[in-house]
Structure 1
Amino acid sequence: MRGAVFAALAATMGNLLQGWDNATIAGALIYIKREFNLETQPTLEGLIVAMSLIGATVITTFSGPVSDSVGRRPMLIVSSLLYCLGGVVMLWSPNVYVLLLGRLLDGFGVGLAVTLVPVYISETSPPEIRGQLNTLPQFTGSGGMFLSYCMVFGMSLMDAPSWRFMLGVLSIPSLLYFVLTVFYLPESPRWLVSKGKMNEAKKVLQKLRGREDVTGELALLIEGLGTGVDTSIEEYVMGPANDEEATTDKDQIKLYGAEHGQSWIAKPVTGQSTLGMVSRYGSMANQGSMANMMDPLVTLFGSVHEKLPQTGSMRSAIFPNFGSMFNTAADDNGRDENWEVESRGEDTSSDVGHDDSDDNLRSPLLSPHASGVAPPSNGSMLMQSGELVNSTGIGGGWQLAYKKAQDGTGELKRVYLHQEVGMGSMRGSMRGSMRGSVVSLPPSDLLDGQLIQAAGLVSQSTLNIKDFKGESPFEDGNVQPSAAATKGQSWRELLEPGVKRALIVGMGMQILQQFSGINGVLYYTPQILSQAGVDVLLSRLGIGSDSASLLISGLTTLLMLPSIGLAMRLMDISGRRFLLLNTLPVLIGSLIVLVLSNVIEMGTVLHATLSTISVVVYFCCFVMGFGPIPNILCSEIFPTRVRGICIAICSLTFWFGDIIVTYSLPGLLSSIGLAGVFGIYAIVCTISWFFVYMKVPETKGMPLEVISEFFNVGARQAEAEKDM
């Protein structure tokens, strides 16, 4: 775990340099305008700022496909070199055109860092802390801004401040970034797996996780190379099976994990697609309401995280016998009735159910003894005190399992299983109804709480095993992907329903984030605060207007850091969606106050105070939600095979929006003033709230491969319903 944290810290040095550059140009622009007489040339002024964004946009066009080809680490090394070269050119800058060249090179470095650092962190981090680590870029970026504002403020107090030195200092920390990327940054294990470099991937995983046995996670990374075209959702009631015991019932299957030990027997139940039931319930129960417009994917993802009351809730309405898709608790009477149906031999299998045999490999799926921990007497077999009790877990309460196809080919199917803590009410009813059930587990052999309910995402395995006959797919320790899984990405994969749906979410979040105005405000914060009259607050201290606005900007970024720290704490607890839905209203409120303070006539001091407080609140809430989360989501929701291409598309959306906002802001300020500008931002933030509510799912704690499968299954089901 320490290895993953250190790798994330090293990678986010690129974001620190981005924040440094953003703040430096905001302060240096005051002096650049005076030297080159740009007061009457707002177009050229905007171009100096936007040139970095143009460079970032150009490099982003190639960054995704190239990083998929050569790796994430080499591209981050190139980013550090471009930062350094850009700083040197800006330090020299004899005229405005050389300055534009330096800004362009600097933009190349920014584009690579902003695009690839979130991808790198997501691909190297455990699911349980992925959100926290992916918030680090926002923290280091704001930290870089604060350090830069301190430097620029100090230089502004000099008799002859040098904007060239302000911009050229960037080359010094970029050298540290270069050293970290070259000597301390391992390659992404997911990229290594995609290229078939299994030995290297295993060594990197062992270093990142701090343990020797990474077979289960390595298998997960291989399975992530699949497209999930044939993925379906199944529900099981599961219990332990003796190794000597043969499974005779056609409805029973055996599931096995990556390690030797106890095998499990599973009974498929509830013969309807879970996603279809969730989607239909949402549309039927919310006719005429805003919730009726919610994407079925949002509801499906929410069923993993939300804990709703059992009686009269969505959960019990969707799954009357089992509660939620991923819950183990159920009504006692309903459970007894369900087991009676099964004991009569009725067909209750799910979509895929019967084409799989129980004659399977022998390796544990959910062994309570794998780590020497006794099974809990009043909790889940998968969890104890909130922690996984064996290493077959792939994060977030999910487990990777396999079963053997029945068609005689010997091919494997993989199953992503999930079960929640809280067997409580289910345990007693199940123990009372065990006798005579089709699971055929001797009651005397059952430990308290060993019968569980789980749901699985089932698809063809991408392991290179054509005719399995042994006891475990990992028996010889040689885990390899199939040739088809490593053939490389195709642009046609972007047309798959799940990828298209993910692109809508990713691109929508990026464009809305930019048109909420944050980067434009940051670039021009000193000038905006100066127009708001903030210099009045510091005039009594003898600080000039330019220095005063820089000081306020520095203090504003300093106040951001605790807010980002709080967001890091909540990102994997409350979740991305929760933070967005609760911070956007605060953004809207602060923007409305800014509009009113600039429309209503009031005293200079009161106007400056309200403007400053509103800007600070805006920034602090932005960095808790709308700042880091779009990049986090974009790094999570795309399949491994096309992640680089999709990230490049979303990043292009980001940079095009950034260019438009930044380049147009000087003209907007001169034409409609601060009130008009912030009024536009308030409208965009309102639209953003509705977009998040209806389209953005919750991904906290879920393995990247599982997130991709959810998008695949949900998007195909939604398209099928539209055709009906």
Structure 2
Amino acid sequence: MSGAGAVLVAVAAAIGNLLQGWDNATIAGSILYIKREFNLQSEPTIEGLIVAMSLIGATVVTTCSGPLSDFLGRRPMLIISSVLYFASSLVMLWSPNVYILLFARLLDGLGIGLAVTLVPLYISETAPPEIRGLLNTLPQFTGSAGMFFSYCMVFAMSLTKAPNWRLMLGVLSIPSLIYFALTLFFLPESPRWLVSKGRMLEAKKVLQRLRGRQDVAGEMALLVEGLGVGRDTAIEEYIIGPAVNEFSEAEQIKLYGTAEGVSWIAKPVTGQSSIGLVSRKGSMANQSGLVDPLVKLFGSVHEKLPETGSMRSALFPHFGSMFSVGGNQPRNEDWDEESIARDGEGDDYVSDANEDSDDNLQSPLISRQATSVDRDMPAPGQGSSMIGGGWQLAWKWSETEGVFKRIYLHQEGGPTGSSRRGSLISLPGGDGDGEIVQVAALVSQSALYNKELMHQQPVGPAMIHPSQTSAKGPSWSDLFEPGVKHALIVGVGIQILQQFSGINGVLYYTPQILEQAGVGYLLSNLGLGSTSASFLISSVTTLLMLPCIAVAMRLMDISGRRTLLLTTIPVLIVSLLILVIGSLVELDSTINAFISTSSVIVYFCCFVMGFGPIPNILCSEIFPTRVRGLCIAICALTFWICDIIVTYTLPVMLNSVGLGGVFGMYAVVCIIAWVFVFLKVPETKGMPLEVIIEFFSVGAKQAQVANNINT
């Protein structure tokens, strides 16, 4: 799956986090000079308020950012964020007194809140699954890069006779203008948001730009299916082959994909797939275990992957279909009302809409077509149903329920055996060879099906875009769906633990913390004062973060989010404990400065590899499209409230318990965080967002069953 367009879009969007990092470092340096000008040395409350005011602004805007982004779109909110960044920097450049400065910091916080909340969401909704982790680590990279550039600027200004803190803060206006231009002229709207509003033509064009190819029919179907909030998802297991005579008539299930062609035949089986096995164990045998069944369920996906070969690149590359939405078909290729109006003279579609618009779809999106083994197969790769991470999208018709069921298929290893390979059916234009494959299937009600059109369609049941459903927008009741509630526990929990590990409080006050640690001794031979020396150390620290984040970007989609957290958090604990010991044991000032500075650097570098980017990545992945904005707003609100508490209380804590006591508290939180990740946080690497959502639904049901059994 090509991702060049998605990479460029992600880089442009991540500039918003560069501005946040720039602001964090600038206020950390300039607060020393602000205190002197306004005589705040004896008023730590006002000092803390100047720093925390941007956090208050971010918290305020976060309360409405989710619903607003669901209503207005992701892109307009990013544009507003860039305008707020620019306006606040100009006001800070002016700032004649503390009150104007506090107001400017509030405006700045509004921009920060929008960017930090929506950039990970935007990147997740535009990135291919295979590189989503890499691209969603970009905000961490650009944020640290912004901090580095800012600390370099503050260090250079600190060497002047009269450092100007207003200029330090006002320089933010320059990158803010660049970000405004990018959001206005380069960034497209999120295709998932466009689909949720029924704007299918626009969504298709955006997807074609992001993926660098014309055939996006399969992903379009996936985005529409993702509008549902998983309620009835079940795990089934199949053996699949291309021949109607491979299985008996009674055990056959016909599966259909997004490309017009021959149906594939499935036979239900039990106990064949690792996903199904883990699912059954999670719901029956392992209920006494501490590890969440959801964690084991996600882990089963990554334990048994197909071997490299033809079946790895596509589960069944000529997957047939009863739907006329193939990427190269001349009819209805735009999946919207405009194309239906142009080609509406046929009998395959029924429309009750009169307007030539793509905004309010009421006409059938996909219609059932006649299928048989006599139909010509599509060309290889045409109308592919692959949706990323080895998953494939299909549908089946349930006669008993009278509905279409949507299926996400995942291959379990290679073909079921050499004895099952061979000439299963002679297909027109093919070589006569086929394969029997073993798959796990996530089966749920299709979001496309509408029962009301059942008797209006002479060929078969119609599939339409659920515009009446999406028009309702997110509902608070959706938050109490088992899968959504389970995801909220993971998202909110990891945000709380991230903030109380103390990173943002340490970053805001890094110069002062390092000054207390005695970093001036390390650079005294250079003739630098303690203040300038602390800025230089901060610059070096953030510079060292960048290659660490680059390594994390590479590993995010290889080792995975969960593995990185479980690996880096212990290093955080060790570095914090060293700081505690160093503060309790009397050491030479130079040795103490070296140990303190080294431990802080190690802490920062490991943090930005795991606990820094991964909470936001996870929160942008685990919620359904319909409530994603609302749920991310809840997680972001938690983030900012905890950030305010940590940042505002840090000066008081430093005065009361000292640097060692502060880091000791953070070490305890990191230990709790490691336990939480081990027990509750699943691995989501390489999986389509819609599949992740379905897994949460299944896992939550298993947890409910477990609770009912235990009680």
Is this a same-fold pair by TM over 0.5? yes
Question: Partners in 2 of 1:43 and 1:655 — Cα distance?
Answer: 19
* Residue 660 of structure 2 corresponds to residue 637 of structure 1: no
| Paired residue type of 2:666 | Y
* Residue 635 of structure 2 corresponds to residue 650 of structure 1: yes
CA distance change for structure 1 residues 419 and 571 in 2, over 3 Å: closer, same or farther? same
Structure 1, unmatched stretches of 5+, are 310-326, 329-358, 374-388, 435-439
Question: Partners in 2 of 1:452 and 1:638 — Cα distance?
Answer: 31
**Does the CA-based 8 Å contact 2:57-2:109 persist in structure 1?**
yes
Match of 1:531 in 2: 516
Match of 1:512 in 2: 497
Give the one of 667, 672, 690 matched to 2:652.
667
Give the one of 405, 408, 419 matched to 2:398.
405
**Does the CA-based 8 Å contact 1:462-1:485 persist in structure 2?**
no
Question: Partners in 2 of 1:72 and 1:588 — Cα distance?
Answer: 37
| Paired residue type of 2:705 | A
| Paired residue type of 1:402 | W
Question: Partners in 2 of 1:47 and 1:689 — Cα distance?
Answer: 32
Give the one of 90, 93, 97 matched to 1:91.
93
**Does the CA-based 8 Å contact 1:127-1:702 persist in structure 2?**
yes
**Does the CA-based 8 Å contact 2:247-2:267 persist in structure 1?**
no
* Residue 296 of structure 2 corresponds to residue 303 of structure 1: no
CA distance change for structure 1 residues 81 and 363 in 2, over 3 Å: closer, same or farther? farther
* Residue 615 of structure 2 corresponds to residue 623 of structure 1: no
| Paired residue type of 1:125 | A
Match of 2:418 in 1: 428
Match of 1:696 in 2: 681
Give the one of 178, 181, 187 matched to 1:179.
181
| Paired residue type of 2:265 | I
Deviations 1:25-76 (A, max 9, x none): 0000110111111111111111110000000000000000110011000000
Deviations 1:211-266 (A, max 9, x none): 11111100000000112222211100010126xx7986222111111112342100
Match of 2:349 in 1: none
Secondary structure, in 3 states, of the residue corresponding to 1:293? coil
Deviations 1:516-573 (A, max 9, x none): 0000000000000010001111111001111000000000000000000000000001
Deviations 1:354-384 (A, max 9, x none): xxxxx9856799x9986648xxxxxxxxxxx
Secondary structure, in 3 states, of the residue corresponding to 1:419? strand
**Does the CA-based 8 Å contact 2:548-2:608 persist in structure 1?**
yes
**Does the CA-based 8 Å contact 1:233-1:274 persist in structure 2?**
no
Match of 1:60 in 2: 62
Question: Partners in 1 of 2:287 and 2:525 — Cα distance?
Answer: 61
| Paired residue type of 1:85 | A
| Paired residue type of 1:427 | G
Instruction: Give matches, 1:10-409, under 5 Å.
Output: 10-241=12-243, 249-270=249-270, 278=278, 281=281, 292-307=289-304, 372=380, 391-407=384-400, 409=402
Match of 2:469 in 1: 484
Structure 2, unmatched stretches of 5+, are 307-314, 317-366
Secondary structure, in 3 states, of the residue corresponding to 1:627? coil
Match of 2:546 in 1: 561
Match of 2:362 in 1: none
Secondary structure, in 3 states, of the residue corresponding to 1:254? strand
Cα distance, 1:481 vs structure 2 = 3.4
TM-score, normalization by structure 2: 0.85
**Does the CA-based 8 Å contact 1:256-1:362 persist in structure 2?**
no
Give the one of 414, 418, 440 matched to 2:410.
418
Secondary structure, in 3 states, of the residue corresponding to 1:700? coil
Cα distance, 1:717 vs structure 2 = 2.5
**Does the CA-based 8 Å contact 1:260-1:362 persist in structure 2?**
no
Question: Partners in 1 of 2:67 and 2:37 — Cα distance?
Answer: 41
Cα distance, 1:670 vs structure 2 = 0.7
**Does the CA-based 8 Å contact 1:509-1:630 persist in structure 2?**
yes
Deviations 1:62-118 (A, max 9, x none): 000110011000000000000011101111111111110000000000000000000
CA distance change for structure 1 residues 456 and 40 in 2, over 3 Å: closer, same or farther? same
Question: Partners in 1 of 2:52 and 2:652 — Cα distance?
Answer: 14
**Does the CA-based 8 Å contact 1:53-1:658 persist in structure 2?**
yes
CA distance change for structure 1 residues 482 and 265 in 2, over 3 Å: closer, same or farther? farther
Question: Partners in 2 of 1:9 and 1:265 — Cα distance?
Answer: 43
**Does the CA-based 8 Å contact 1:264-1:364 persist in structure 2?**
no
Deviations 1:286-313 (A, max 9, x none): 798xxx200000000000012499xxxx
Match of 1:707 in 2: 692
Cα distance, 1:581 vs structure 2 = 0.3
CA distance change for structure 1 residues 630 and 51 in 2, over 3 Å: closer, same or farther? same
TM-score, normalization by structure 1: 0.84
Question: Partners in 1 of 2:666 and 2:305 — Cα distance?
Answer: 35
Question: Partners in 2 of 1:257 and 1:34 — Cα distance?
Answer: 68
Question: Partners in 1 of 2:642 and 2:193 — Cα distance?
Answer: 29
Question: Partners in 2 of 1:683 and 1:448 — Cα distance?
Answer: 60
| Paired residue type of 1:82 | L
Question: Partners in 1 of 2:257 and 2:573 — Cα distance?
Answer: 49
Secondary structure, in 3 states, of the residue corresponding to 1:721? helix
| Paired residue type of 2:494 | M
Question: Partners in 2 of 1:412 and 1:308 — Cα distance?
Answer: 28
**Bigger CA drift: 465-474 or 98-107?**
465-474
**Does the CA-based 8 Å contact 2:274-2:301 persist in structure 1?**
no
Deviations 1:462-497 (A, max 9, x none): 2255446659979xxxx7335334432111100111
Match of 2:481 in 1: 496
Secondary structure, in 3 states, of the residue corresponding to 2:278? helix
Match of 1:607 in 2: 592
| Paired residue type of 1:657 | C
Deviations 1:413-433 (A, max 9, x none): 21110114444xx4135459x
Deviations 1:298-350 (A, max 9, x none): 000000012499xxxxxxxxxxxxxxxxx99xxxxxxxxxxxxxxxxxxxxxx
| Paired residue type of 1:174 | S
Question: Partners in 2 of 1:364 and 1:668 — Cα distance?
Answer: 74
Question: Partners in 2 of 1:450 and 1:108 — Cα distance?
Answer: 56
**Does the CA-based 8 Å contact 2:242-2:434 persist in structure 1?**
no
Cα distance, 1:278 vs structure 2 = 2.6
**Bigger CA drift: 16-25 or 706-715?**
706-715
Question: Partners in 2 of 1:371 and 1:463 — Cα distance?
Answer: 26
When the two structures are aligned, how many residues end up with a matched partner?
645
**Does the CA-based 8 Å contact 1:276-1:717 persist in structure 2?**
no
| Paired residue type of 1:603 | D
Question: Partners in 1 of 2:479 and 2:517 — Cα distance?
Answer: 46
Two-structure CA RMSD over aligned residues (Å): 3.0
Question: Partners in 1 of 2:239 and 2:45 — Cα distance?
Answer: 67
| Paired residue type of 1:297 | L
Cα distance, 1:412 vs structure 2 = 2.0
- Identity among equivalent pairs (%): 67
| Paired residue type of 1:269 | V
**Does the CA-based 8 Å contact 1:263-1:363 persist in structure 2?**
yes
| Paired residue type of 1:250 | A
